[in-house]
Chains A and B, each alone.
Chain A
Amino acid sequence: MTQPRALIIEDDDPIRMMLSTIVRHQGLSVDTARDGIEAIENLDKDGYSVVLLDLMMPHVDGYAVLAHMREHQPELLHRTILATAVPQHDLDRNLKDPVYMIHSKPFDMQQLIADVRHCAELDAA
């Protein structure tokens, strides 16, 4: 059975490290990206079971990553979890894509883990 893979896109080093460690604990292999540019490079190169995506990042932000996914891998949007500090009213205004779940910082880690596992299961089904 292939090990499910996660891409964690987050510019904050400690949060990226925290999310990576937690997701690895769930048995997934993890790639990381520090901004939208690295994220798109990874997305074009590899297939992922689940994507954890921050929205506010330097260079290329999370919205641009979502737009790239919409164009190239629209099915992956349904296994994408937003992990963001963006206020709800900004999301209501700017978020165009139907992602699997939105988690606001600070995260409810148990719920986040459950959602990561569910996305991995969706991919395996």
Chain B
Amino acid sequence: MNDTTVHNGLVGIIAAETSLSMVDGTAGELVIAGFPVAELAMNATFEESAHLLWYGELPDAEELTAFRADLARRRELPAVAYDLLRAAAQKRTDSMDALRMAAGTISLKSKSTDKSVCATQAKQCGTDTLVCAADGDAARNLLGAFPTIVAAKCDGRAGPPKTLTYSLREPRR
């Protein structure tokens, strides 16, 4: 007989450690990067929340403008993505599968023309942030392109909505 202990269930089991979120089931609290999720939902835009998760802090006005502009530059999809979405519609492919296929066409390589963006990301990269440098650029490519993918999936739209933000409704300030 060996002394292996079997833990039934997940009580006391730590699957991962992160400073990005904290779940207090007893108190009914979900904290994202230091902010209660309800507070974040009411006061932060989608882009501000993404910035918070990626870089560990909410952006100031200038950073937010630059972040939105950078995502907008990444809206365009390769032609093959539109073809895939059309083919998926013809074959009545499951919507999540169609989105997954189109996302697979997005380049994971850097689109940043400004090398300081990558340098800044690398500088900001630490144990408390989710992404940095090349990974950050790939994540921005996906985040920038995904609204176009969804729009194309929904109505066959073939152009990126460059001027729109991610939310129809701005949060209360």
A residues with CB within 8 A of B: 13-15, 17-18, 21-22, 25, 106-110
Contacts and interface: CB of A to CB of B under 8 A. Distances in A.
A3 to B, nearest CB: 18
B109 interface: yes
B144 to A, nearest CB: 16
A13 B94 CA distance: 11
B84 to A, nearest CB: 5
Number of chain B interface residues as a range? 10 to 19
B104 A15 contact: yes
Interface stretch (B35-43, B52-60, B85-93, B149-157): B85-93
A13 B97 contact: yes
A14 B100 contact: yes
A18 B100 CA distance: 9
A107 B104 CA distance: 7
B104 A108 contact: no
Contact of B101 (A14, A25, A110): A14
A22 B91 contact: no
A17 B86 CA distance: 12
A108 B109 contact: yes
A62 B106 CA distance: 26
Contacts, number: 45
A108 B87 contact: no
Contacts of B94: 14
Contacts of A109: 104-108
B101 A17 contact: yes
Contacts of B79: 25
A42 to B, nearest CB: 21
B80 interface: yes
A44 B101 CA distance: 30
- Counting chain B CB atoms within 10 Å of each CB, which of A18, A106, A109, A110 scores highest? A18
Given A25-B79, A25-B80, A25-B83, A17 B91 contact: yes
A50 B79 CA distance: 23
A4 to B, nearest CB: 17
Contact of B93 (A14, A25, A108, A110): A14
Given A109-B105, A110-B107, A14 B83 contact: no
Contacts of B100: 14
Interface in B106-146: 106-109
A14 to B, nearest CB: 4
Given A13-B97, A14-B93, A14-B97, A21 B104 contact: no
A111 to B, nearest CB: 8
B101 to A, nearest CB: 4
